[in-house]
Amino acid sequence: MAEKILKSKLVNFLMADVEVNYANVSDVYAVAESGDVDVLAGVLEAFKEAYGGLWVGGKLEVTPTVVRLNANAMNRLVQDGTLDIELPLAWVRKVSVEGGFMTKIVRLDTDAGSVKFRCFGAKDVASLIEKMTLQ
């Protein structure tokens, strides 16, 4: 039986090892008849250097035992690398909310590093995850 989903939201999550598949982006631009892949590449590479990764659009699911982050179809088309995360709640040592533009960022610290995602209602999501880690 599938585990009960306590919360599901659209999110963006920050991934250090994600690379843009510029060949696929070029194909999308060709179909749309607009865009300059070289300009996009410059912006994204500068962003990745400054922030330590790229944001991946997708979906969050919180269950009683895990936090799942999965990339959406568009991001799977144009990005390569880690596009899915399943983080056991038992590994979460600290939950915090950081500032952000338009949406706040939830940071989940583990012994192995941090996972960051942004969404509307971030404070409520962080509270739920923190509550679940205490059980």
Q: Could you give the CA distance from residue 105 to residue 130 in angstroms, rounded to a whole number?
A: 14
What is the model's pTM?
A: 0.89
Q: Could you give the CA distance from residue 74 to residue 43 in angstroms, rounded to a whole number?
A: 19
Cβ neighbours, 10 Å, residue 105: 20
Torsion region of 11: left, alpha or beta (phi above 0 gives left; psi -120 to 50 gives alpha): beta
Q: What is the mean pLDDT of each run of 10 residues along the chain (135 residues)?
A: 90 95 86 81 91 95 97 95 96 96 95 96 98 89
Structure tokens at 82: 């880690």
Which residues, in sequence order, are CB contacts of 98 under 8 Å at separation 6+?
104, 105, 106, 107, 116
Give residue 92's identity as a one-letter amino acid code: V
SS3 label, residue 10? strand
The CATH number that domain 7-133 falls under is 2.30.29.30
Per-domain boundaries in the chain: 7-133
Q: What is the pLDDT of residue 1?
A: 59
